[in-house]
Amino acid sequence: MKFDLKKILPGKKEEKEASLAATVKDYDSESIRGEIVEKIKQLVLESGEYSSGTQTESDILETFVQKCDESTGENIKNTVSLVRIIVEGLSEEGNPYAQRMTDAFKADVIAAAPLHDIGKIMIPDAILNKPGKLTDEEFEIMKTHTVEGDKIIDDVIKRVGREKSGCLNEARYMASCHHERWDGKGYPEGLSGEDIPLSARIMAVADVFDALVSVRCYKPSFTFEEAMNVIKKDAGTHFDPVVAKAFVDAADKVREAASF
């Protein structure tokens, strides 16, 4: 999957594109990127493939969280729980996606979920932790976390080989495409419908719901009911309607999964 900065910054003049590209590049610390890439690579080489629940994975995620905003740790925990609920719902008999929910796919998606925002390590702290609404220019930089996540995970896959990368193939889809929308109005590529990888469509629902019910430096939390209503309302526009329905149908499990 190839990304073009001009597609990330639609309608911007060339000098604005160059300015924002320079800002991202200035922060593009190879020491930060290299640290994460090296830790993931070592986990793959030591265990044979990327796997979750290991001490090395905990070290990777701890490094990631330390570089990002205060809400990142809770977001990782919550979205993994929500992704698990969604894949279970999609696996139920009669669901249109049931045949796609193989044991291998479900395991890969759940294991990959903690890496969906890994690209945020390349976003400047002043933007990531800004206590207020981002400017248009800041938001364009924030959006590049999808591209950066793709680059980081792709770098690992190239170093260890696709046959050993395990769930990292799905992790790359989730990192790069979880802000795409079913109606094609998302980013960074403006993909729509089933052109968006299924794992990313699953993460989109989990990530938005968690963002809604969580307190952020720029907003208060929604109630459980308010957040559920957003998922229902945006099914078929923002979200894959099949994935959204599986999530809404599992409302009791979602409520029990964490203390929202």
Question: pTM for the complete prediction?
Answer: 0.81
Question: Which range among 62-71, 128-137, 160-169, 226-235 shows the weakest confidence by mean pLDDT?
Answer: 62-71
**pLDDT at res. 244:** 98
Band of the pLDDT at 126, cuts 50, 70, 90?
confident
> Could you give the CA distance from residue 238 to residue 229 in angstroms, rounded to a whole number?
13
Q: Name the amino acid, one letter, at 45.
A: L
Q: What are phi and psi of 219, to 5 degrees?
A: -165, 155
Nearest to residue 9, comparing CAs of 154, 166, 146, 143? 143
Band of the pLDDT at 202, cuts 50, 70, 90?
very high
Answer whether 68's CB lies under 8 Å from 226's CB.
Answer: no
Domain boundaries 15-257, CATH class: mainly alpha
Tell me the average pLDDT across 168-193. Answer: 96
Q: Over 70: is that where the pLDDT of 191 sits?
A: yes
Question: Residue 203 corresponds to which tokens in the numbers above?
Answer: 């993460």
CB atoms within 10 A of CB 132: 8
Q: Show Cβ contacts of residue 93 under 8 Å, excluding neighbours closer than 6 positions.
A: none
The kind and range of the H/E element at 66 are helix 55-67
Q: Over 50: is that where the pLDDT of 21 sits?
A: no
Average pLDDT over all residues of the chain: 82
**pLDDT at res. 120:** 87
Answer whether 45's CB lies under 8 Å from 160's CB.
Answer: yes
Q: Show Cβ contacts of residue 184 under 8 Å, excluding neighbours closer than 6 positions.
A: 190, 191, 192, 193
Question: Residue 193 corresponds to which tokens in the numbers above?
Answer: 């419908």
Give strand ranges (E) for 90-238.
none
pLDDT in tens, 43-79: 676 666 666 666 666 666 666 666 665 566 677 788 9
> Could you give the CA distance from residue 172 to residue 203 in angstroms, rounded to a whole number?
12
Burial class (CB in 10 A: 0-12, 13-18, 19+), 84: middle
Q: Over 50: is that where the pLDDT of 194 sits?
A: yes
Nearest to residue 5, comparing CAs of 168, 140, 173, 137? 140
Q: Please give the residue that has the higher pLDDT: either 70 or 202.
A: 202
Answer whether 176's CB lies under 8 Å from 4's CB.
Answer: no
Looking at the chain, the whole-number percentage of residues with pLDDT higher than 90 is 48
Question: Which range among 16-25, 82-91, 170-179 shows the weakest confidence by mean pLDDT?
Answer: 16-25
Q: Please give the residue that has the higher pLDDT: either 2 or 260.
A: 260
**pLDDT at res. 70:** 56
Q: Name the amino acid, one letter, at 19.
A: S
Question: Residue 155 corresponds to which tokens in the numbers above?
Answer: 């770098």
**pLDDT at res. 24:** 44
Q: Over 60: is that where the pLDDT of 167 sits?
A: yes
